[in-house]
Amino acid sequence: MLQFLKSTFAPVLAVSVALAPIAALAQSRDWEVSRNASEIGFSGTHAGRAFDGEFGQWTARIRFDPRDLGNSRIVVVVDTGSATTGDRVQETTLKNPEWFDSANNRFATFRSNEISSRGGNRYLASGTLEIRGKQVPVSLPFTATISGDSARASGKLTLDRIALGMGTKSDPRAQWVSRNIDLTFQVAATR
C-alpha cells in the first residue's frame, strides 16, 4: 500500500516541487487546467509503424490574456518517465539514458518567453524547451478560444529528436524511429 501511495503520488509531489520556483507567477488570473479534458501527446513512426503516446504526469501554469499578451506566460513541466505508448518495449526504451534519460533528467520543461498573436485565435509561444538537461529554443504555435471563464487551446510542435540528442547512438539515421516527433497538446482550462 505504501509502495502504491509512493508510486502514485511521488510524481505529483515531484512535479509540484519542480514547479515551486515558478509558483510566484501564480495569481488568481491563472488558468486552471482540467487534467481530465487535457492531454499532451506525441507521435511518430517506429519500425515502419505509426505510434502515439501521451504523458501521464505533467502540470502547467498558464497565464494568458489575448488583450495582454505581454504579461501572458506558459510553463509546462512534463514527467518524462510517465510516457506511455501501449508498448512496453517502447516505454522502457524511452526512459533509457539514450532517450529521455528519465533517471537523471526526469522533467522536461517548456517556458515561454514571448507570446504573440498570429491573427484570429492563433498564437505563437516562443520559448525554451529544457529536455535531457539541455535547453533548446522552440516556437510553439497554438490556437486558443476563450468563452467566459473557460478556454480551450491546442497546438502541435514538430521536434527533431536528433537535435535533442535522443536516440543518437542506436538510431542516428532514423532507420527505426522517425527523426520528426510530433508533440500535440489539447488543454481545457477554467479561471
Alpha-carbon distance of 51 to 65, in angstroms, equals 35
- Tell me: does residue 87 bind another protein (CB under 8 A): yes
**Which DSSP string corresponds to 41-64?**
EEEEEETTEEEEEEESSEEEEEE-
Task: Determine how many CB atoms are found less than 10 A away from the CB of residue 43.
Answer: 17
CB 64 within 8 Å of CB 115:
yes
- Does residue number 96 form part of the binding site for another protein (CB under 8 A)? yes
φ/ψ (deg, to 5) at 58: -160, 165
Cell numbers for 46, please give them: 517506429
Restricting to residues 155-174, which ones interact with another protein according to CB under 8 A? 169-172
Question: Which of 56, 97 has the CB closer to another protein?
Answer: 97
Asked if residue 103 binds another protein (CB under 8 A), the reply is no
By CB under 8 A, residue 89 contacts another protein: yes
CB of 56 to another protein, least distance (A): 18
Give exposure, 58-75, as e/b (b: 16+ Cβ within 10 Å): bbbbbbbeeeeeeebbbb
Contact 57, 15 (CB under 8 A): yes
Task: Report how many residues bind another protein under the rule CB under 8 A.
Answer: 15
Residue 45 C-beta: closest distance to another protein, Å: 9
Please identify which residue in 2, 5, 88, 147 interacts with another protein, judged by CB under 8 A: 88
Query: Closer to another protein at the Cβ: 93 or 126?
Result: 93
All cell numbers assigned to 120: 484570429
Window of 3-11, 31-39, 85-93, 182-190 that interacts with another protein by CB under 8 A? 85-93
Can you tell me which of 34, 43, 93, 126 binds another protein, judged by CB under 8 A?
93
Q: Interface with another protein by CB under 8 A: which range of 14-22, 23-31, 91-99, 181-189?
A: 91-99
Residues forming the site for another protein (CB under 8 A): 47-49, 87-89, 92-93, 96, 98, 169-172, 175
